[in-house]
Structures are given as structure tokens and as C-alpha cells.
């Protein structure tokens, strides 16, 4: 094999570590590399002839260079130009960069934070949502009631309302419950490779729950052969073990993770036990044009709940749990499986397909006051779906940084909800018996580019349609169709202006939408979806 060597530096000649290199031949064969601590790199060419070498680094303009193999030239020096449009991405901790072939959160003109894997791996949290407390503009509501541990809000959106406002994706798969609650409790810090947080309404990739923004979590995947583990113990009887291992052989990679955590909790009657096991198996073809993989994860959580205190009680005895809450608590069982396919059709066209199935089974026992009765609340959700995305970067418009991305997705939900009046977890009467479906189909297209050296533009639109039915089985079965929301369109626009080398300005506009929760989404009268039109300047 022939090796292309060189160094990546900034405009002042200082080395840039961690720059991503992509070597592509005319047939679309791809070799990936990354610059080392001194900016130096060595990337093996898969053959002879002309190649395109692309270099990307956060904060710098992507640079493309034509190289010929073999070459008698000295090592290549790639001097990157600082990004003309100042980056609005805030990187917290190091990041290995997204594996996605398509424009991600860091390509948006807006407020985006990237929480890196090295920062995440050091954190000690009971639930993965707590990691987002480090991100500006994100609020984590601490409910601390067993399986209802808390939820996240962005830029003042209320976490306790009936309408959830934050879209969650794990490895590109939607992971909100039907109620909109972001379900990421199955993840442990060591398994997370990166978290992207988008604040605002200008991201066209997602529909439901993308009102205030979205959170994309990318889990770790093997690069080389290794085992990483973490054992810890702490106050309130906390014990935790995490093990992450990976094997890479040729084009095959396997990543396995197992984690378990138990704690007695700060308050009385707040003990919890949880464990997760996951595996990722991926294969990349010799030409690097096709990548296919499987992700599987299973999770179990059992927890007590300390109940609710008055304001005075919470100040006098913050660790107290009232006697009427002694049997409160619950459990969550979740399982996930997804197939992933990435294809580099040509040097300028890539497409991806994801298909998934997942279930969320939640049981909660709760008693709000001594005068009230305990309830058993059951939510069983089954979600299946598929997501297709394609991105075209025409070579003739590479100097204008033009990118055209489009996609379509569909999700089918089959949901059951039950409520029982209970006494010490023994059922006394049936209060609710719901059976409902919710199907969501959507598509988007977005074009972006830099027509001049001082102007960056992006325009996109998304459309969603909903279908399904709702059956209330008490006292006798009665069925309603979903409300006629019609086609819900969401335009998105962004512009950035470079004022000088150190100052730029941007503005964006976008629309998000939401529908009613549970029974509120069904009926026989036409009803517009609730929409949120948001604008931002910065």
C-alpha cells in the first residue's frame, strides 16, 4: 500500500490535532484518517491514480486537495482557513466527530452545543439526562419520583406541561415516549460517544416534539481492540460498574457494553437498581462504499419513590418520606433493535437507511396525598419505524459549499395505558383502559451554501401527516379517529453574514408543531396542530 503523509496546520502554522481526513477515488472508494497531536497524518491509498483528499476540523473551512498516487512530492502541508462564518457550535469536552455522512447539528446556523465523549465518560450521574445540565440554555427538572426522575426543557419551555418540547434521538433513532418524555435512562456515560444539543426551531430534520430543539446522542463504536471499565462506590450506598469493549478486524467491528447501578438514594424510600446491556455489530466493505450494522440494547430499572412533601416539610426534613408513600415506586423495561445502512453511491452522493423496533413498558405506583388512593399506572408502548436520508454535494458547487439533503421517515406506535386504584400495590378497581395507535409520516428537504465569501444561506421545509385511532374500553369499547390535522408544514430559513475575521451575525426562523397528548389527539372535528414559530438572531 502507498501512503500519503502530511501535516494539518492553522493559518499561523500551528498544528491541528484531530482533523478528519477523507481520501476518495473516482469510484467512490473511501479511506478515513485523522491527524495526530502534532497535526501529522499518514493515510494509505487503496490504489494508484488520482484521489480527492478532504480535510475537516471544527472552526475551519473544509479543504479539498487533488493528489496523485504514486507521488514524488514532499509530505503534504494542509493549511486550513478559519471558518468564514464564525462557528456557533460550543464544544464541551473533546469530541471524536460524528460518524454521520449527512449534515448534522454542527452544520446548522444557530445555537448548538456538542458534549464530547471524554467529558461524558468522567461524569457520575444516576440518569443520562443529568449530563445535559452542563449545556447552556438547557434546564433539567428534577422530579426524583422513581421512574419519573425528571425531564429536560430548552430555553424556558416548561417541563411540566402536557406538551413536550424536545426531540430525542439515540443513534439517529427517535426515542421519545408517546407523551414526549425523553427516554434515555438506558444509557450510561461510558457508552455515550457524543451528545449534540440544538436550541431553536430551524432544524428541518425532525418533526414531532422538535419545538424548542433536539438532542442527538451517539453511542460509542469500536475503533481498534480495547476494553474500558469503570467501577465506583459512593455515598447513599451507591455502587456502579460499567464495561465497554470493542474489537475491530478488517471491515468488521463489534462493540459490547454492560452497566449496572444501585443506590439507596438521598431520601428515604428512594432506592433504585438498573442495568443495561448493548451490542453493536458493523461491517464496512473493502471499498468503504457500504457500511451495514445492527444495534441492540436491553434495559431494566426498578425503583422506589419517596413521595411528595409540603414546602415546610421539605425544608425541615428533606430526607423524609411520608408513610403513605411507603409502597410507591415502579419499573421500566425497554428493548431496542435497529438496522443501519450507509452507502456512498458516488464521491458526491451518499444515502442512508435505518429501520428499528423498540418497546417501553413502564409501571408506576403513586399516591399523592394521605387522603388520596394509590394508583398503579401502566404504559406499554411499541414503536417501529424507518428513516431514509440522502445528501448530494455537487462537485461543481464545492467552492460554494453547496449541500442538498432530503429525507423521509415513518413511525408506527401501538400503545396501551391502564390505571388501577390500588391498596399497597394490590388492585382494587380499574380506572383506565386505553388502546390507541399513532402513525407519523414526514419528509424534509434542505439546501445550504455560501454564495459569497461573506454570506451563508440555508433553506428547508418539512411536512408531516398523522393517522391512528383511539379506543376507550371503559365502560364499553368506543373508538375515535385521530383529529384531522391535515398536512403540517414547517418552513426553515437561516442566514449568516461575515462582518470581519472575528465577528459574524446570523438569523434564523423556523416552525415546530405538536399535537394533543393521549386522548387529546383524537376526535371527529378538524383541528389545527399547535405550532410554534420561532426566530433568533445572534
Residue linked to cell 444515502: 351
- The CB-side HSE value for 426 (13 A sphere, CA atoms) comes to 2
Same domain, yes or no: 164 and 213: yes
* Residues 250 and 379 occupy one common structural domain: yes
212 and 97 share one domain: yes
Q: Do 276 and 211 sit in the same domain of this protein?
A: no
**Same domain, yes or no: 211 and 104:** yes
Confirm whether 194 is domain-assigned.
yes
CA proximity to 64, closest of 386, 450, 399: 399
Whether residue 200 sits in one domain with residue 128: yes
Note the pLDDT tens digit of each residue in 465-481: 999 999 999 999 999 99
Q: Across all residues in the chain, what is the average pLDDT?
A: 88
Question: What CATH number does residue 123 fall under?
Answer: 2.170.130.10
For residue 84, is it within any domain?
A: no
Using 50, 70 and 90 to split pLDDT, how confident is the model at 1? low
- Final residue of a structural domain among 55, 79, 103: 79
513: which strand partners? 531
Residue 194 has pLDDT above 80, yes or no: yes
Are residues 67 and 181 located together in one domain of the fold? no
Both 155 and 58 in one domain: the answer is no
pLDDT band at 94 (very low <50, low <70, confident <90, very high): low
Query: Is residue 398 a part of any domain in this protein?
Result: yes
- Whether residue 317 sits in one domain with residue 235: yes
Q: 213 and 233 share a domain? A: no
Q: Quick one: what percent of the chain has pLDDT higher than 90?
A: 51
Residue 43 lies in a domain: yes
Q: Label the pairing between strands 166-170 and 213-219.
A: parallel
Q: What is the pLDDT of residue 58?
A: 73
| 94 and 37 co-located in one domain | no
CATH number (domain holding residue 258): 2.40.170.20
Q: Which segment, 108-117, 118-127, 361-370, is predicted with the most confidence on average? A: 361-370
Residue 132 falls within a domain, yes or no? yes
**What pLDDT does 241 receive?**
96
Domain ends where: 218, 237, 271? 218
Q: Which of 218, 236, 260 is a domain's end point?
A: 218
pLDDT single digits (tens) 19-48: 888 888 766 677 888 888 788 988 888 777
Q: Name, in order, each residue with C-beta under 8 angstroms of 236's C-beta and a sequence gap of 6 or more.
A: 263, 264, 265, 266
Contact status, residue 37 vs residue 57, Cβ threshold 8 Å: no
Q: Domain check: are 233 and 179 in the same one?
A: no
The residue among 487 and 5 whose pLDDT is bigger is 487
**Cell 469530541, residue located:** 95
Residue 74's CATH number: 2.60.40.1120
Residue 69 has pLDDT above 80, yes or no: no
Return the pLDDT at 87.
45
User: Looking at 123-127, 160-164, 306-310, which range is the least confident one?
Assistant: 160-164
**Domain count for the chain:** 3
Q: Is 130 inside any structural domain?
A: yes
Phi, psi values for residue 487, rounded to 5°? -90, 125
Range of the domain at 52: 2-79
Length of the chain: 538
Between residues 167 and 5, the one the model is more confident about: 167
**Nine-digit cell at 130?**
443529568
Starting at the earlier edge strand, list the strands of the sheet with 30-34: 30-34, 20-24, 49-56, 63-69
Q: What percent of the chain has pLDDT over 70?
A: 95
Per-position DSSP letters for 97-158, written without gaps between them: ----SS--GGGSSSEEEEEEHHHHHT---SSGGGGGGGSTTEEEEEEEETTEEEEEEETT--
- Tens digit of each residue's pLDDT (9 = 90 or more) over 514-536: 898 889 999 988 888 888 898 88
In a domain, 302, yes or no: yes
Res. 97 pLDDT band, cuts 50 70 90: very low
Amino acid at each position: 500500500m502507498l501512503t500519503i503523509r502530511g501535516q494539518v496546520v492553522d493559518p499561523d502554522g500551528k498544528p491541528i490535532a484531530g482533523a478528519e481526513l477523507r481520501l476518495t477515488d473516482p469510484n467512490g472508494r473511501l479511506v478515513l484518517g485523522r491527524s495526530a497531536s502534532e497535526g501529522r497524518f499518514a493515510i494509505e491509498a487503496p490504489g494508484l491514480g488520482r484521489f480527492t483528499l478532504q480535510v475537516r476540523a471544527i472552526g475551519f473551512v473544509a479543504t479539498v486537495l487533488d493528489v496523485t498516487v504514486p507521488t514524488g512530492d514532499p509530505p503534504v502541508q494542509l493549511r486550513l482557513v478559519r471558518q468564514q462564518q464564525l462557528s456557533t457550535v460550543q464544544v464541551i469536552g473533546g469530541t471524536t466527530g460524528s460518524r454521520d455522512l449527512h449534515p448534522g447539528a454542527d452544520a446548522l446556523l444557530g445555537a448548538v452545543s456538542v458534549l464530547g465523549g471524554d467529558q461524558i465518560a468522567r461524569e457520575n450521574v444516576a440518569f443520562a439526562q443529568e449530563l445535559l445540565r452542563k449545556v447552556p440554555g438547557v434546564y433539567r427538572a428534577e422530579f426524583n419520583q422513581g421512574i419519573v426522575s425528571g425531564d429536560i426543557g430548552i430555553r424556558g419551555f416548561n417541563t411540566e406541561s402536557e406538551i413536550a418540547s424536545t426531540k430525542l434521538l439515540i443513534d439517529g433513532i427517535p426515542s421519545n415516549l408517546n407523551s414526549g418524555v425523553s427516554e434515555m435512562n438506558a444509557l450510561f456515560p461510558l457508552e455515550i460517544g457524543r451528545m449534540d444539543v440544538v436550541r431553536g426551531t430551524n432544524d428541518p430534520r425532525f418533526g414531532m416534539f422538535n419545538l424548542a430543539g433536539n438532542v442527538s446522542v451517539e453511542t460509542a463504536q469500536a475503533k481498534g481492540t480495547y476494553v474500558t471499565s469503570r467501577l465506583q462506590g459512593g455515598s447513599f450506598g451507591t455502587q456502579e460498574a460499567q464495561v465497554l469493549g470493542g474489537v475491530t478486524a478488517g471491515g468488521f467491528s463489534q462493540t459490547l457494553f454492560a452497566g449496572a447501578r444501585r443506590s439507596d438514594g438521598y431520601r428515604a424510600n428512594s432506592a433504585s437498581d438498573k442495568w443495561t446491556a448493548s451490542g453493536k455489530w458493523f461491517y464496512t466493505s473493502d471499498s468503504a462504499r457500504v457500511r451495514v450494522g445492527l444495534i441492540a440494547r436491553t434495559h431494566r430499572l426498578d425503583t422506589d419513590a419517596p413521595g411528595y412533601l409540603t414546602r415546610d416539610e421539605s425544608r425541615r426534613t428533606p430526607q423524609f418520606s411520608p408513610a403513605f408513600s411507603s409502597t410507591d415506586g415502579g419499573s421500566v423495561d425497554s428493548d431496542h433493535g435497529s438496522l443501519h445502512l450507509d452507502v456512498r453511491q458516488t464521491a458526491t452522493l451518499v444515502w442512508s437507511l435505518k429501520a428499528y423496533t423498540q418497546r417501553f413498558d413502564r409501571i408506576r405506583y403513586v399516591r399523592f396525598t394521605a387522603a388520596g388512593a394509590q394508583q398503579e399506572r401502566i404504559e406499554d408502548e411499541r414503536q417501529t419505524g424507518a428513516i431514509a436520508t440522502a445528501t448530494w454535494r455537487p462537485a461543481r458547487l464545492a467552492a460554494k459549499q453547496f449541500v442538498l439533503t432530503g429525507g423521509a421517515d415513518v413511525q408506527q406506535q401501538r400503545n396501551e395505558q391502564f390505571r388501577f386504584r390500588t391498596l399497597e400495590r394490590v388492585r382494587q378497581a380499574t380506572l383506565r383502559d386505553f388502546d390507541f395507535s399513532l402513525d407519523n409520516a414526514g419528509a424534509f428537504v434542505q439546501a445550504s451554501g455560501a454564495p459569497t465569501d461573506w454570506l451563508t444561506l440555508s433553506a428547508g421545509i418539512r411536512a408531516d401527516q398523522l393517522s391512528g385511532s383511539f379506543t376507550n374500553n371503559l365502560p364499553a369499547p368506543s373508538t375515535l379517529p385521530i383529529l384531522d390535522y391535515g398536512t403540517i408544514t414547517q418552513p426553515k430559513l437561516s442566514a449568516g453574514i461575515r462582518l470581519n475575521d472575528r465577528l459574524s451575525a446570523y438569523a434564523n426562523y423556523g416552525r415546530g408543531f405538536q399535537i394533543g397528548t393521549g386522548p387529546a389527539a383524537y376526535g371527529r372535528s378538524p383541528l389545527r396542530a399547535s405550532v410554534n414559530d420561532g426566530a433568533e438572531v445572534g
